Amino acid sequence: MDWLQKILANAVYGDDGKLDVEATMKKINEEASKHIIPKEQYNGKVKELDAANKTIGELKKGNADNETLQKAIKDHEATIKQLKADHDKEIKGMRIDAAISKVLADNNAKHADLLSGKFDREKLIVAEDGTVSGLDEQMKGLKESYKDLFGATVSGRTPANPEGRNNVPTFESLVNNADTMTAEEVAAQFAALETK
């Protein structure tokens, strides 16, 4: 997921300061094919693997006498076992990379691509449900060792804006508050109402 994080970090913004969604999506679509396997392709490989296992099983039953065939079957079984192990290792690596990227983003890391290499991936454990344990301990160590590579956590509360407006007065609020306002304040709010 580092490739996506790099794209989003360098996202294109328009003159109005808003994210240019089309340009950003174009970059994502260009890079996605290099990093993501389409679901149809994945499902196709799973079906091929199931068909190969079924064929091997049938060949074992029908050709128990043929030594050459039995050797070929054993070779294919070993290949399938190795492919499955490689696939599981790749999926585990992807889950660990995604978890590292997320924990770095959650902790306001300034240079996540540099810090992601500091994690000891051998000490991280991926559970059956896909959660990764051991990240928090390593994250604490990184935050202590590389304090300057983490942004300050901004805290506070959202300012009150109960009416959901941009402080544009309404006629009712002008009438209700006129007794506590100066003539200049009443005139300014009345002028704001006219421009609205």
Task: Tell me the per-residue pLDDT of 23-82, one tens digit each, with 9 for 90 and over.
Answer: 777 777 777 766 677 778 778 888 888 888 888 888 777 666 677 777 888 888 998 999
pLDDT of 193 above 70:
yes
Percentage of the chain exceeding pLDDT 90: 2
Q: Is 125 strand, coil or helix?
A: strand
**pTM, whole model, 2 decimals?**
0.46
The pLDDT of 91-117, averaged and rounded, is: 87
Enumerate residues 6+ apart whose C-beta is below 8 A from 79: none
Element of type H or E holding 24: helix 21-35
The pLDDT of 81-106, averaged and rounded, is: 88
What integer pLDDT is reported at residue 98 of this predicted model?
A: 87
Reported as a pLDDT band with limits 50, 70 and 90, residue 168 is low
b/e per residue, 2-38, with b = 16+ CB within 10 A? Answer: eebbebeeeeeeeeeeeeeeeebeebeeeeeeeeeee
- The tokens describing 69, both together, are 């065939």
